[in-house]
Structure 1
Amino acid sequence: MRVQIVLFDGFDPLDVLGPFEVFHAGGGFSGGAVTVELVSVEGPREVPSGLPAVSLTATATLDPAVADLVVVPGAAGSLSLDPAVEGSVAALLGRAGSGPLTPALRDAVGRAGTVVATVCGGSLLVAHAGLADHRPLVTHERGADLAGTAALPVDARVVDDGDLVSAGNVTSGIDMALYLLEREIGPQVAHAVEGLMCHERRGTVWRATGAAVAVA
């Protein structure tokens, strides 16, 4: 499984590094069945995060044609939901979504065999681009109602809608990565990574399967 984690100016480092470490360790425990790389839509470059003095290096170009899994992080900034506030998460996500990243993500969402996973505000980026219309999605609690989009908000830590998987607040990205490692590679590898990181997943992954909730 080839994993590409997307960097854009203002990204949240933990949204990136949590899943990166899970998939990197998964590659080691699976004999190389998982590879993970940091990418940007512009190609190899140093990408500043939303936290001062923290940047990461994209070593390749985002390419949904070769990626089995594309991970979209959120942004790190002030929690204002007003995109006019400079340095706010809304402004950073809006800036990222207005450039060439959205067409690349549209290609990833529309490509058979490619899974798109979002962490925290990455769900808002995808939803506001119209790429999660009428599909269940979770994001950061500050934007949990997914206002202004046609996505269907779900109150869960991780939501699995097949080729679109989403996670809520920052650390849930680690849970999501472990879940995807279990789903795509197997529970033994996921369990080994969980033990290595001393991290125990929380909550039930929400899926639109089984009996619907009925209140008597």
Structure 2
Amino acid sequence: MDTGGRGPAAPRTRPLLVVLFDGVQSLDVSGPLEVFAAAGHAHPGGAAYPLTTASLDGAPVRTQGGLRIAPDLVLADAAVEHTLLVPGGEGTRHPDPRLPAGLGEHGPRAERLTAVCTGSLLLARAGPLDGRRATTHRAHCDHLARLRPQVRVDPDPIFVRDGRIATSAGVTAGVDLALALVEEDHGRDAALTIARHLVVLLRRPGNQAQFSARSAAQTACREPPRELQQFITEHPAAALSVDALAARARLSPRHFARAFRAETGMTPGRYVDRVCLEHARRLLEDTSDGVHEVARAAGCGTAEAMRRVFATALGIAPADYRRRFHAPLPAH
């Protein structure tokens, strides 16, 4: 492109407005901001995402952890040129009515609306999520669905992008979402460099499920289900059929299956599938082992069985998962 002898055009800046309120989760604010700030290191002038913070009255806010944050501006006076970021926290449960109203006024002016964790509840109250697919922390998805039935709530992904609106699950998912936005704006190399600088992984796709096997299920209070949860997690390649697990628990298969479900909230087979998925995903991300080897090591048995588990939980084949998300970090 001809730049009239002036050299290449400077990369575009994308001003970022972060909304603050009493009871905000400090990590929902600082996690994404560290990603966006790191993007400025390679940007002329160090301002890839010029930052402004605002609260309803411009007064300092107290985070749910007790940290005091002083905003730059009154929300009504803040300009929104590109990205509006709404963090979550306890303060989203019963917010000042002026807060969603203010977001409703700012939302149409932003090129990109983002919410971290229960910040989705504030965006839902404000209206921009109507008719959109969105997510939040898995523990609050039912609340979001009841609060605004017009929102198409997806409880599984760690973040969701629907047009100009992006929403994420809990704290660390906000970092994943911020890295994805930097990758979109400045390319994968920039996002990988930031991930390396912050000692985080640029490997979690938005459609990766929020759960781990342990967090998806209740932890059993009694033995033998509790001991078997631990055994399954630590020995995914062992014989884990209901009959084999029941024999280990010294119970009949029927009695064991009933007790396991009562204690954990899911069937033994479902729990084993989750463990298989969790181990397989890590092996695909962190090793170069073939799909067949990964399937055996993760306890899925065969590559076909592992493909079924991935398709059900993530909507993607294991080989495609690796091709899309297994990328080495650049060398120093």
**TM-score, length basis structure 1:** 0.79
Partner residue of 1:109 out of 104, 107, 110: 107
Residues in 1 aligned to 2:159 and 2:32: alpha-carbon distance in whole angstroms: 13
Trace 1:1-216 onto structure 2 (pairs within 5 A): 1-31=14-44, 32-43=47-58, 45-52=59-66, 54-62=67-75, 65-75=79-89, 89=90, 92-99=91-98, 101-111=99-109, 114-145=111-142, 146-148=144-146, 149=148, 150-154=150-154, 155-206=156-207
Please tell me whether the aligned partners of residues 108 and 114 of structure 1 are also in contact (alpha carbons under 8 angstroms): no
* Consecutive aligned runs of 4 or more in structure 1 exceeding 3 Å deviation: 61-67
Once the two structures are superposed, residues 125-160 of structure 1 have per-residue CA deviations (whole angstroms, 9 ceiling, x without a partner) of 211333311101010111113222121111201111
Please tell me whether the aligned partners of residues 121 and 139 of structure 1 are also in contact (alpha carbons under 8 angstroms): yes
More helix by share: 2
- Give the share of equivalent positions with the same residue, in percent: 32
Q: Which consecutive unaligned segments of at least 5 residues does structure 1 have?
A: 76-88, 207-212
State the one-letter code of the partner of 2:49: V
How much does 1:40 deviate?
1.6
Residues in 1 aligned to 2:129 and 2:19: alpha-carbon distance in whole angstroms: 18
SS, match of residue 81 in structure 2:
coil
SS, match of residue 180 in structure 2:
helix
How much does 1:105 deviate?
1.2
Residues in 1 aligned to 2:52 and 2:32: alpha-carbon distance in whole angstroms: 11
1:137 and 1:94, CA in 2 relative to 1: closer, same or farther beyond 3 A? same
SS, match of residue 165 in structure 1:
strand
1:110 and 1:122, CA in 2 relative to 1: closer, same or farther beyond 3 A? same
1:66 and 1:132, CA in 2 relative to 1: closer, same or farther beyond 3 A? closer
Q: Which consecutive unaligned segments of at least 5 residues does structure 2 have?
A: 1-13, 208-314, 316-332
1:55 and 1:93, CA in 2 relative to 1: closer, same or farther beyond 3 A? same
Please tell me whether the aligned partners of residues 136 and 170 of structure 2 are also in contact (alpha carbons under 8 angstroms): yes
Residues in 2 aligned to 1:65 and 1:59: alpha-carbon distance in whole angstroms: 12
How much does 1:161 deviate?
1.0
Residues in 2 aligned to 1:3 and 1:135: alpha-carbon distance in whole angstroms: 22
How much does 1:182 deviate?
1.2
Residues in 2 aligned to 1:165 and 1:130: alpha-carbon distance in whole angstroms: 14
Aligned length: 189
State the one-letter code of the partner of 1:106: G
SS, match of residue 106 in structure 1:
helix
Pick the structure with greater CA Rg. Answer: 2
State the one-letter code of the partner of 2:122: L
Residues in 1 aligned to 2:15 and 2:183: alpha-carbon distance in whole angstroms: 15
- Report the more deviating stretch, 151-160 or 25-34: 25-34
Higher RCO, Cα 8 Å, sep 6+: 1
Residues in 2 aligned to 1:40 and 1:117: alpha-carbon distance in whole angstroms: 17
1:80 aligned partner: none
Please tell me whether the aligned partners of residues 135 and 141 of structure 2 are also in contact (alpha carbons under 8 angstroms): yes
How much does 1:49 deviate?
0.6
Please tell me whether the aligned partners of residues 82 and 112 of structure 2 are also in contact (alpha carbons under 8 angstroms): yes
SS, match of residue 95 in structure 1:
coil
How much does 1:202 deviate?
4.3
Residues in 2 aligned to 1:33 and 1:114: alpha-carbon distance in whole angstroms: 15
State the one-letter code of the partner of 1:16: V
Cα-Cα RMSD: 2.1
Residues in 1 aligned to 2:22 and 2:203: alpha-carbon distance in whole angstroms: 30
Residues in 1 aligned to 2:187 and 2:103: alpha-carbon distance in whole angstroms: 27
- Report the more deviating stretch, 6-15 or 143-152: 143-152
- Report the more deviating stretch, 125-134 or 7-16: 125-134
1:67 and 1:94, CA in 2 relative to 1: closer, same or farther beyond 3 A? farther
Please tell me whether the aligned partners of residues 88 and 118 of structure 2 are also in contact (alpha carbons under 8 angstroms): yes
